Chains A and B, each alone.
Chain A
Amino acid sequence: MLIMERRPEPSRWMSYLSPVLAGLLTLLTGALVFSLLGQPPLHALKTFLITPIADAYGLAELCVKAAPILLCALGLAVAYRANVWNIGAEGQLLMGGLAGSALAVQFTDSDSAWLLPAVLLCGILAGMVWAGLAALLKTRFNTNEILTTIMLNYIAFNLLQYFVHGPLKDPHGYNFPESAVFADAARLPILVDATRVHQGTVIALFVGAAVWLLMGRSFLGFQIRVLGRDSRAARMAGFSEKHLIWLVFLISGGLAGLAGVAEVAGPIGQLVPNISPGYGYAAIIVAFLGRLHPVGVLLASLLMALLFMGGEMLQIELNLPLALTGMFQGMLLFYLLACDALIVYRLRWHRKLPVPATVVTS
């Protein structure tokens, strides 16, 4: 009989292997799902995972899609390290996009070099405010941040709908729910010609390095890690739980806000009702898949971006529902959590220990 047995010490090796294992299991299940749908599994998997990035443009699109996911996930990784369950990246992203747009549409004729930084800053601040609400609720009123951030996501979504259908709607836009197109001075410059790769990608990489420095080298990062693993030890050592909770909320909210504003000021160029296909939720999976480490998060965000593109490709090429993406994302997280059990446990064939010979006393 195969049994699970607790390891004497958690396996570090397994904690890196587990995401890979989870990916393989998702792949296998994917093949199974495709054959059940009557698609040749290998071809479908190729369409899902390889075709989207088979050319340079595809690779460029991968970077475009990965940037917002990476930004959100880096912030979430910091929050989760502190054991702060911010599920609200999506809402913080939407608020970032909304606030950045609100500023950008006031200056559609401007060519000031200050416009873009101002728009970005506005988005970051909005994300911080939205996350700050959850931080205030948690530190002041002791409310569960999972529930409040989820609720704030729904509220942000509805606020965005309100503004895009109302005050921010382009008056010359034939009544479409869209804002006016931003001025070029408010847009993130394109890095590679004939692609949509914009400066946001570079910013995201810089942020990744900063987060690595914060979490891996600084005393503040150490305090965040202690708080997350053992809040009572943090209190005993005199690290202020409240300040740290505020800090991680502001970091993760600011980064999600940046992701949002970088979307409207980058590839989209205006405010639309759907500025995110669920990047904020996908970032939760990315944070876990990347082991809450910046490098891991970078790799995982590329994978997640690929899932988004693959889903679209399946819809175009094989006429499969777009919702497959969400299902695969959920499956990946499930398998990851299951495989993570192998960090603490090992599998062993159960056999009885040999009975020691009775000790005969002289």
Chain B
Amino acid sequence: MDSDLIYNVLQAAVRTGTPLLLVALGETVCEKSGVLNLGQEGMLLVGAVAGFITTLLTGNLLLGFLCAILAGVLMSMLFAVLSLHLNANQYASGLALTIFGTGLSAFIGANYVGRPVTGLEPIVIPILSEIPLIGGALFRQDFVVYLSFAMTGLLFWFFKASRMGLIVKAVGESPDSANAIGLPVLRTRYLAVTFGGAMAGLAGGYLSLAYTPLWAENMSAGRGWIALALVVFASWRIERVMLGAYLFGLASILHLVAQGLGLAFSPSLLAMLPYIATIVVLVLLSSNPTRNRLYAPVSLGQPFYKSS
């Protein structure tokens, strides 16, 4: 394997991993507060279509990304009202969000399939991009990739050293205790869910405005679900979310490697790889109950009933 191939593969792994990273970061915050939002796939798709149409109509990429984020937030609010306010089952509400988002995005985007936009251009960061191998992979990327680096750092600090982060963890461990000492359980959970929505929306925008860039029905291809598995893989720890996202990115582009090496496989079979990898990872990381007990937010998926 020559160094060009390695370079291309690493760069593509980071690019491919970025939407996973964004979604998984948002979902980690959400799950840390005790809420499991299975609607990631739906929010991704709606974010993607909203961002794409906005940019197509206005020619403005920034506006496109903002609309993608807004769309993700609005979708997550639907989930939040159902699961936090009306205490609907979180699993069912998340599934509903995914089913609804898939249908909604396909409906809105029906007339925009295959239309081209100019995607986000890479920004080469001087000096850093000269580092052999990883320099090119990490620092010849577009703005959103850099933003994902920043978000990773910010969230790492958030959970390590901020009071808000402490509150999120406390609410996720025991909403009843948090309520008893006067912490705002519902507000915290609303904010966490909304943050998750914003991140999923941004990731959707990244898919349709930078990664491909175009709109196609169901274009997220299960990334929302893979991101959910990624959170489990990362044991709800920010730094491991990033690592996992790039590993999954790598698994998703193995067909490029295969082509580069001149191997011929059926594209359908290669397309299964990320999904198989997800299952393998889940098996490796879920089978140890001790580990889950230590790291999983205790109240994950449990509704909170406030008595007054």
Contact = CB atoms under 8 A, between A and B. Distances in A.
- In their complex, do chains A and B touch, with some C-beta pair under 8 Å? yes
Interface of A: 4, 6, 85, 87, 137, 140-144, 146-148, 150-152, 154-155, 158-159, 161-162, 165-166, 281, 284-285, 288, 321-331, 333-334, 337-338, 340-341, 344-345
B232 interface: yes
A155 B226 CA distance: 13
Interface stretch (B114-122, B132-140, B204-212, B272-280): B272-280
Given A152-B275, A158-B275, 7 more contacts: A141-B282, A143-B287, A148-B279, A158-B268, A326-B102, A328-B103, A330-B104
Given A162-B266, A334-B96, A323 B217 contact: yes
Contact of B268 (A142, A147, A165): A165
A87 B91 CA distance: 11
29 contacts: A6-B305, A87-B95, A137-B283, A141-B286, A143-B286, A146-B91, A151-B225, A151-B229, A151-B276, A152-B275, A152-B279, A154-B221, A158-B268, A161-B268, A162-B266, A162-B268, A321-B106, A321-B107, A321-B110, A322-B110, A323-B217, A327-B104, A328-B103, A329-B103, A330-B100, A334-B97, A337-B82, A337-B96, A340-B88
B286 A333 contact: no
Given A150-B222, A340-B88, A143 B279 contact: yes
- Interface SS of chain B: helix
Nearest to B111: A321
A281 B96 CA distance: 10
Interface residues of B, number: 48
B289 interface: yes
A284 B95 contact: yes
Nearest to B270: A158
A345 B87 CA distance: 10
A166 B110 contact: no
Contacts of A285: 99
Interface string B222-247: 10010011001000000000000000
Nearest to B288: A142
Contacts of B123: none
Consensus secondary structure, chain A interface: helix
Nearest to B221: A154
B91 A337 contact: no
Contact of B282 (A137, A323, A326, A338): A137
B38 interface: yes
Nearest to A341: B86
Contacts of B103: 323-331
B271 interface: yes
8 tightest Cβ-Cβ pairs between the two chains A and B: A330-B100, A326-B103, A323-B106, A321-B110, A327-B103, A341-B86, A162-B268, A323-B107
Given A284-B99, A323-B110, A341 B87 contact: yes
Contacts of B292: 142
B268 A154 contact: no
B115 to A, nearest CB: 15
B78 interface: yes
Nearest to B278: A151
Contacts of A158: 268-269, 271-272, 275
A329 B217 CA distance: 17
A162 B287 CA distance: 31
B64 interface: no
Contacts of A281: 99
Given A137-B279, A329-B103, A338 B268 contact: no
Contacts of A144: 232, 282, 286
